[in-house]
Amino acid sequence: LFWALVYSYCGVCACIAGLRLLWSIGRRPGETFRWVVRENPPACLNDPSLGTHCYVRIKDSGLRFHYVAAGERGKPLMLLLHGFPEFWYSWRHQLREFKSEYRVVALDLRGYGETDAPPHKENYKLDCLIADIKDILESLGYNKCVLIGHDWGGMIAWLVAICYPEMVTKLIVVNFPHPSVFTEYILRHPSQLIKSGYYFFFQMPWFPEFMFTLNDFKVLKSLFTSQATGIGRKGCRLTAEDIEAYLYVFSQPGALTGPINHYRTIFSCLPLQHHEVIMPTLLLWGERDAFMEVEMAEITRIYVKNHFRLTILSEASHWLQQDQPDIVNKLIWTFLKEETKRKRE
């Protein structure tokens, strides 16, 4: 019954996407299939104020990971995990902000950007993604870190904190609830099921990637800029160069398959068991999130068996750390210093 529901909803999402495709072809046939591969990265991706581009190869998997690091070596590690469809650049404001006291590392997750992308979807199961973070931490010469994740990176951050609590001193998650809250809530609330329709759409081979390329990646641009899903009018809107940075990464041939493969194995991992988080945790949430209902944020509290702080920003979108960077950075500083003071007392 579970898989019947999954694939039924997958079929519904495919039909809707097919209708949109036909509508686009009917309106602008010449523009629909235009796909421009950006040959050169925009200057913002090589901005020295953001840090240094580095690579590390993991022994067990053999994969090479790309990351951008700011701050002196030897300082406490702050590891940043991005969401979909993003890459290390979504943490640009945090790289600049926290490098004064931390070794800040913004990672390209498995399959994203310049990180290696295994071809088979089985290589993107949650246990592989969790192991990546553990192995990267060790390869960087650390045994613990402040772990921050947004969206899908938030899902991974929760699971790393659950599976390897000794490696996470403090957990900060942006716009993603505890995984158990998410799986329980989505089954009981049709509105969230609809908002998470892309999880089901992504189960199909090749078609989701194809839909993203239409009209020169119109869907990708719209995610960050439209009134429905983008950064709100009171937020820090992306510049034309920021948008080009995303288009440069995701317009490369095959660049979308790895990121979407993250979702193609998720249903084989459900239902997730209830797990407790034992380290101090900060959950930040943009109330105008078009993909996640805010009610899940408060429910998350029951799974954190330590100090838990929840802050909901009423005018912020799903892209919170890019939308309200100054407020987000201030809230993170307050949480980090508050916990340090709490330990001393």
Given 108, 116, 135, 151, the catalytic residue: 151
Query: Is pLDDT above 70 for 345?
Result: no
- What pLDDT, in 10s, does the model give residues 36-66? 999 999 999 999 999 999 999 998 899 999 9
- Partners of 282 in the β-ladder: 172, 309
- Rounded Cα distance between 85 and 148, Å, is 17
Residue 216's SS3 state is helix
Choose the most confident range, by mean pLDDT, from 1-10, 17-26, 91-100, 195-204. 91-100
Residue 226 in domain? no
Q: Name the residue among 235, 339, 224 with its Cα closest to residue 287.
A: 235
151 is annotated as an active-site residue: yes
Q: Is 120 exposed, middle or buried (0-12, 13-18, 19+ CB in 10 A)?
A: exposed
Residue 166 in domain? yes
Given 67, 263, 289, 323, the catalytic residue: 263
102 is annotated as an active-site residue: no
* Residues of the domain holding 81: 42-194+233-337
- Contact indicator for 105, 138 with CB cutoff of 8 Å: no
- What pLDDT, in 10s, does the model give residues 196-222? 999 999 999 999 999 999 999 999 999
Report the CATH number that the domain containing residue 142 is assigned in CATH.
3.40.50.1820
Given 66, 178, 262, 318, the catalytic residue: 318
Residue 250 in domain? yes
Residues 6+ apart with CB under 8 A from 316: 232, 235, 286, 287, 288, 323, 324, 327
Q: What is the pLDDT of residue 339?
A: 63
Residue 173 in domain? yes
Residue 223 in domain? no
Residue 212 in domain? no
- Contact indicator for 32, 25 with CB cutoff of 8 Å: yes
Q: What is the pLDDT of residue 344?
A: 60
Residue 6 in domain? no
274 is annotated as an active-site residue: no
Least confident of 13-27, 200-214, 263-277: 263-277
Residue 220 in domain? no
Please count the structural domains in the chain.
1
Q: What is the pLDDT of residue 245?
A: 98
